[in-house]
Amino acid sequence: MAVVMLWFSIEFFFNNFLAAGPARLYFFNNVKSYPDWENNLKSVIMSILSIQSHVSYGHVGNSAAVFPLQRLGFEVWPVHTVMFSNHAGYDSFKGPVLAPDDLRAVLSGMGERGCFAKCRAVLSGYLGSAALGEVVLEAVQRARAENPNTLYCCDPVMGDVGKDVYVKKTIPSFIEEKLLPEADLLTPNQFELELLSGHKVKDLNSSIAAARDLVARGVTALLVTSLERDDLPAGQIEMLAVSGDEAWLVNTPRLDFPIMPNGAGDICAALFTGHFLKNRDLKRALEQTTATVYGLFEASWQRGERELALIEAQDEIIRPSHPFDARSV
């Protein structure tokens, strides 16, 4: 029956649509253009290799980064450094930190598929160990060997204000000495900005000075994902984007959560990477990232849950409800 219906559908198409001369001529003349159309489509879709943690429940690491990038139209290749049941901030969690050689095996297999030559950006986040950081470094170097224009965004996950350093003690020095010199983009929170730069952030000027210190070490652009300087107006929180000759600031209302949702920094790094990769416009990348993150936070706050409402509020990724304008500082 299915075969019969398919035959009648095909016959109807040819008899009714292609019976007209101009339609038939258009159709057959343009069939030969399909390969060009396919190549153009492939050139538009950019691929990002994302090496970071993964949780089955909730949205942190790759569980936070992959879906927003896909919604923005990127092909994303996730490689997990850990596979946990949930974020480690809960009372308990289960799952392994993956061995470096396991990651190398995954990346080697991807190389056999020609992935590195097609890679437009590498994004790294929570590592789990300095040995896993070595694997990230190898992946960045291999991607650039096969595609010199590959962008590398390092999200230097190490700690947070009020939490201090919560990664293994060898990781901060590894990030500063090995990953930072390779990074095109860097997305620290305020605590990580202070830790990497050695500057205490108290006001806007000291924030920009700390960011410029890291730019001077070779970073193209830096996004401070949560800035809470001493002179910040009450009820506000900021994001700051800095390059060698630009500095842009965005203020948003601060939403008070009983427990702050995890994964905001991971989503910020992913969105900033994607938007910057598309347009190389620092101001625009900051504004688009801020608008989406605020929209996701607002939806999560309204829902009253600890996990980000990433799926429920996914339209915020492509059509944010609250646009924000960055100002030059």
Residue 230 is predicted with a pLDDT of: 84
Distance CA(272)–CA(306), nearest Å, equals 23
Distance CA(106)–CA(51), nearest Å, equals 11
Residue 44 is predicted with a pLDDT of: 60
Residue 7 is predicted with a pLDDT of: 45
DSSP letter, residue 201: -
Mean pLDDT of 31-48: 51
185 touches 272 (CB < 8 A): yes
Task: Look at phi and psi of residue 58 and say left if phi exceeds 0, alpha if psi is from -120 to 50, else beta.
Answer: left
Task: Give tens-digit pLDDT for 12-31.
Answer: 444 444 444 433 333 333 33
Tell me which H or E stretch contains 193. helix 190-197
Torsion of Cα atoms, 125 then 130 then 132 then 135, to 10°: 100
Distance CA(138)–CA(175), nearest Å, equals 14
Parse the chain into domains and list their residue ranges.
46-328
Q: Give the three-state DSSP class for 154.
A: strand
Distance CA(60)–CA(82), nearest Å, equals 11
Cα-based distances in Å from 130 to 136, 203, 290: 10, 32, 30
Residue 35 is predicted with a pLDDT of: 38
Give me the percent of the chain exceeding a pLDDT of 90: 75
Asked if pLDDT for residue 236 goes beyond 50, the answer is: yes
Mean pLDDT of 25-53: 55
Please give the CATH superfamily to which domain 46-328 belongs.
Ribokinase (3.40.1190.20)
Q: Which amino acid is at 193?
A: L
Distance CA(85)–CA(136), nearest Å, equals 23
Local confidence band at 228 (pLDDT 50, 70, 90 cut-offs):
confident
Mean pLDDT of 51-56: 96
Averaged pLDDT score across all residues of the chain: 88
Strands (E), the chain: 47-55, 75-84, 119-124, 151-154, 159-160, 164-165, 185-186, 221-227, 236-243, 247-253, 327-328
Asked if pLDDT for residue 281 goes beyond 70, the answer is: yes
Task: Give tens-digit pLDDT for 291-328.
Answer: 999 999 999 999 888 899 999 999 999 999 999 999 99
